[in-house]
Amino acid sequence: MGVTHRSLSVAVESSFGSLSSSTGLPDVSGLTYVSIPCERDPIVIYGDVVVSERNDARDGSFGIAPEPDTVWSAGARVRRRTGQVQLRVDLTTIGTAADTYASNYLGYLLGAGFLTNVSTMKSDALSAITNVNTFTPTTTSTNYSIGGLIGASLNGRAEYSAVTDNDLSGDVTVSPAFSSAFTGTPTVRGMQTWFPGSRTLTGDRTHSLTFRVDGVGFRSFAYGCVLESV
């Protein structure tokens, strides 16, 4: 049996639905798609065709098939579908080549449902440690955003905490506490954080997505995609 090679790629939309100002139809000509290493079985074109029921008067006991909801594009009808994009992705980090997930497919996917905070502080060798919850950074304390996550490698083990205060005296307070190995001048690293919008930001997200499904003899797009569950 022959193997059919297929792929799934994703891009961040500049505006919801990637609508062209001239035609009103989705236009992905200016977008750069990133391939996703994921599991999709079976890989199919997503969604069901949207149809409009025919309620015309008729002179017999026959029915009239519903009409697909279409738009004209380049002299041909384009059918509209609605559905879900479901995939399984192994979580991998971005290594040392980048300091944010701004160009990474995982950042794309999470940004479609969450707001994000990119830490101003990328790496900092601490100048003094008061206790396992308080330290003095080498950089300015305000570079540590309140609520932001930080991590440190202590005795060969990764430990993580969140910033609760960056006071004017120059100290930073974190919780939960690091372990007793948090001594000397360890290096801490700021981490990009995703969080659900609340209060006046309820329902907000960083962006929407468009997916491209490629296979042998076909290509299909999905526009205006936002995160439903994770």
Tell me the pTM: 0.76
Give per-residue pLDDT as tens, 7-49: 889 999 999 989 888 888 888 888 999 988 887 655 556 677 7
Give per-residue pLDDT as tens, 163-210: 999 887 889 999 999 999 999 889 999 888 888 888 888 888 999 999
**Tokens 């008061």 belong to which residue?**
130
**Nearest of 34, 29, 44, 30 to residue 11 by alpha carbon:** 34
At residue 6, the 3 state secondary structure works out as: coil
Res 1 pLDDT > 60:
no
Res 2 pLDDT > 60:
no
Q: Are the C-beta atoms of 98 and 87 separated by less than 8 Å? A: no
CA–CA gap between residue 38 and residue 91 (Å, rounded): 10
Query: What value does the mean pLDDT take over residues 125-132?
Result: 91
**Nearest of 209, 215, 216 to residue 28 by alpha carbon:** 209
**Tokens 């907000």 belong to which residue?**
204
CA atoms within 13 A on the CB side of 69: 9
Beta-carbon neighbour count of residue 210 at 10 Å?
Answer: 20
CA–CA gap between residue 139 and residue 213 (Å, rounded): 45
Beta-carbon neighbour count of residue 108 at 10 Å?
Answer: 20
The burial class, CB within 10 Å (0-12 / 13-18 / 19+), for 174 is buried
Residue with the larger pLDDT of the pair 44 and 82: 82
CA–CA gap between residue 163 and residue 133 (Å, rounded): 9
Q: Are the C-beta atoms of 117 and 100 separated by less than 8 Å? A: no
Q: How confident is the model at residue 77 (pLDDT cuts 50, 70, 90)?
A: confident
CA 105 from centre of chain: 7
Q: What is the CA radius of gyration of the chain?
A: 25
N- to C-terminal Cα separation, the chain = 34
Residue 121: phi, psi to the nearest 5? -90, 115
Give per-residue pLDDT as tens, 85-99: 888 888 777 777 677
